Amino acid sequence: MADPPRHLLAIEGLQPPPITALLDLAESYVLLNRSGQTARDLLRGRTLINLFFEDSTRTRTSFELAGKRLGADVINMAVASSSVNKGETLLDTAATLNAMHCDLLVVRHNQSGAPNLLAQKVDAAVINAGDGTHEHPTQALLDALTIRRRTGRIAGLVVAICGDIVHSRVARSNIHLLTTLGARVRVVGPPTLIPAAIERLGVAVFHDMAEGLAGADVVMMLRLQRERMIGGLVPSAREYFRFWGLDAAKLAKAAPAAIVMHPGPMNRGIEIDSLVADDPARSVIREQVEMGVAVRMAVLDTLARARPKLRND
Amino acid sequence: MTDLLFTRVRLLDPASGLDRPGALLVRDGAILDFGAALGQPEGAEVIDGAGAVLCPGLVDLRAALGEPGFEYRETIGSAALAAAAGGITTIAVLPDSRPAIDDPALVQFLRARGDATGSLTLLPYGAVTRGCRGEELAEFGLLREAGAIAFSDGARTIGPASLMRRALSYAHGFGARIVQHPEEPSLAAGAAATEGELATRLGLPGIPACAEAIMVVRDIHLAELTGGMVHFSRLSTAAALDLVRAAKSRGLPVTCDTAPPYFALNEMAIGEFRSYAKLSPPLRAEADRAAVAAALADGTIDAVVSDHQPRDADDKRLPFAEAAPGGAGLATLLAVTLAEVHGGRLSLTRAVELLTAAPAALFGIAAGRLQKGAPADLCLFHLDRAWRVVAGELPGKAQNTPFDGRALEGRVIGTWKAGRRVFG
């Protein structure tokens, strides 16, 4: 058997067995979390550093909670990207972290590939918590866990990922994960927000929501950054909502029991209508947050097990 | 100076079509004679080539040397070491240094700095615009008089069509070429790789490959309009090469070059964010790479240039989109080009022509041929000797080679500048 991976940098390249193993382990953490218990012996004495070069209260808190429930010492380091540009480089940061004997390093960065660069230089296991427009592996894992718990499977499902695909690391990780597990993935959005050659990743491209959502089992909405409108990729919020915002009428094109997902934070009235986002029968958005903690516990647990035992110091 | 006699060499001079075993005699720094067999003058130093190729010292039409302004990346002294190790004895040096080469005194300064190395002739480009800022035209006439070989804004595209029109038109009056970095700036802004599947997978902002052809087609029209001469540097796409091919067949004064990465690598060299493979223009898809290789053989491409762009670790050890583009190219120029010969896609004569006589003829440089009475700028290389490119072990300061780890066949064993051995 191959060595277990040292880092979690991307979903691309992972085979179905390790993905399924992570999802199965995460299931057990869902039960543990719901029981109100913790497993503080698992990561006792391990140091987890949340290194966030980009603000994200949601993801950072989720990793922090996951680490604490497993007993790790959790430290949050928020580094504004601008101050890094002014002096300390990413690799200076890596040297600092090595000196701190960090075991697990969670990295969020606005540049694609930054965690890969860090992983070459740090001793810690690196977990990509979102890099530029490249990948966001734990988001895809938590989405898959949410889908699996709701529908009982992933293989054969039709999943429509809608909105700003070109700037979305969530979309890329989900495309890799869902196609690897046998789902039929569609991407839906205006042509200016669909990246070149995306069909080479094994997805079908739609520009019309009614067509893209037809018969879908899962509708996954993405956040539209306001600066995309300033950048001229979309003329206005109202036009975007009219053609690509998810409302009840568009959702009616999907399968009758289709679930609605969103990685958050939502722009209500731009990519999603509140009536849909808050509909307990369809929206699983809150459940996604719960699954996030369980999935991150599974990832931390798995990577920590793959590391040599604690230093004898 | 003692006489220098090369014996048992394969004399290769693409300009005259010479390719045969023989000998060559150097006296007082100039080529005195060459032929099938030469007598050995008394006291001459003899270099036994044992079958190695003796050709003119290479003429490189495009390199940035770090100096002035970026000495932490490369200096003229360190670049001279790398050039000598690569068999290069003449370099046209880009003007987008700091300060930019937009003043006659700077042209003279660079020429003198080259002469001071004793191993390298430096032929500066003049800036097209003051400071290479893309605004007002530089003093073409005075720069030309001081020895500027042609005009370019270096890595910056001459963007506005009105500016390019004026530059072509005004340079035409001085018989000088405008050397363009053909890339439509508004399509390239902020981008790090060629748009397509790889850039999409890696989440990197992409430049559509047609950004090159768009600028080439515009500038061909402007050359036709003004009668000016345009030279496109580092062509890397099939579409742009087709345009140049068609323009040449119509007799327009349009020429172009490329650099080894564009016929020896494709975008897959980026792998997982390898910033040493981040170049400008970016590496392309395989079909474009193959088209560049084919255009070397069919004559569409007039010269192969090193496009030496020295970068240090701090420029490169950054997330891919933030890393500086550019690769070191002096030491690998010949061997990577020879790989096309070993692969059977290019004749040896054509390969050496693209590195010597062709670039010299393009800019009217008195170099790049074996000629009696001419300075003995010579390159002696072993066609088959294998070596491996290792970043960190290259001659000179810049180590940012996109060919790191690559095994190559063809190695320079000696370089002479005006009869003086400068390498080997």
pLDDT (tens digit per residue) in A45-73: 999 999 999 888 999 999 999 999 999 99
Per-domain boundaries in chain B:
57-362
Closest in B195, B320, B321 to A196, CB measured? B195
Alpha carbons B10 and B381: distance in angstroms, whole number? 10
Nearest to A70 by CA among A261, A280, A239, A294: A294
Tokens read off for B305: 């240039």
Q: What is residue A287's predicted lDDT score, i.e. its pLDDT?
A: 97
Tokens read off for A237: 């919020």
Q: What is residue A115's predicted lDDT score, i.e. its pLDDT?
A: 97
Alpha carbons A61 and B243: distance in angstroms, whole number? 56
Q: What is residue A92's predicted lDDT score, i.e. its pLDDT?
A: 86
CATH number at B57-362: 3.20.20.140
Average pLDDT, whole number, for chain B? 97
Please tell me which residue of chain B has the smallest CA distance to A197: B197
Check CB contact of B189 with chain A, cutoff 8 Å: no
Among all residues of B, which ones are annotated catalytic? Answer: 307
Give the angle subtended at the CA of A46 by the CAs of A130 and A263, to the nearest 5°.
25
Burial class of A256 by CB neighbour count within 10 A (0 to 12, 13 to 18, 19+): exposed
Average pLDDT, whole number, for chain A? 93
The tens digit of pLDDT for each residue in A270-302 reads 999 999 999 999 999 999 999 999 999 999 999
Distance from the A257 Cα atom to the nearest Cα atom in chain B, whole angstroms: 32
Please tell me which residue of chain B has the smallest CA distance to A196: B196
Residue A81 has pLDDT above 70, yes or no: no
Q: With bands split at pLDDT 50, 70 and 90, how would you rate the model's confidence at A308?
A: confident
The tens digit of pLDDT for each residue in A83-126 reads 555 557 788 888 888 898 999 999 999 999 999 999 999 999 99
Distance from the A198 Cα atom to the nearest Cα atom in chain B, whole angstroms: 7
Tokens read off for A91: 């690799």
Closest in A113, A132, A197 to B197, CB measured? A197
Q: With bands split at pLDDT 50, 70 and 90, how would you rate the model's confidence at A2?
A: low
Please tell me which residue of chain A has the smallest CA distance to B209: A196
Inter-residue contact B233 to B156 (CB < 8 Å) = no
Q: With bands split at pLDDT 50, 70 and 90, how would you rate the model's confidence at A312?
A: very low
Please tell me which residue of chain B has the smallest CA distance to A132: B203
Q: What is residue A84's predicted lDDT score, i.e. its pLDDT?
A: 53
Across the interface, whether the CB atoms of A111 and B199 are under 8 A apart is answered no
Alpha carbons B45 and B391: distance in angstroms, whole number? 35
Total-model pTM:
0.95
Across the interface, whether the CB atoms of B273 and A117 are under 8 A apart is answered yes
Across the interface, whether the CB atoms of A131 and B203 are under 8 A apart is answered yes
Check CB contact of B199 with chain A, cutoff 8 Å: yes
**Regions of chain B with pLDDT less than 50:** none
Q: What is residue B348's predicted lDDT score, i.e. its pLDDT?
A: 98
Strands (E), chain A: 47-52, 73-78, 104-109, 125-131, 158-162, 184-188, 204-206, 218-221, 259-261
- Helix or strand or coil: residue A271? coil
What's chain A's length in residues? 313
Closest in A116, A172, A201 to B272, CB measured? A116
Distance from the B198 Cα atom to the nearest Cα atom in chain A, whole angstroms: 9
DSSP state at residue A65: H
* Chain A neighbors of B203, CB-CB under 8 A: 112-113, 131-135, 169, 172
The tens digit of pLDDT for each residue in B294-345 reads 999 999 999 999 999 999 999 999 999 999 999 999 999 999 999 999 999 9
What's chain B's length in residues? 424
C-alpha radius of gyration, chain A, whole number: 19
- Composition of chain B by helix, strand, coil, percent to 5: 35, 25, 40
Residue A170 has pLDDT above 60, yes or no: yes
Q: What is residue A231's predicted lDDT score, i.e. its pLDDT?
A: 73
Q: What is residue B279's predicted lDDT score, i.e. its pLDDT?
A: 98
Give the angle subtended at the CA of B417 by the CAs of B416 and B419, to the nearest 5°.
70
DSSP state at residue A193: G
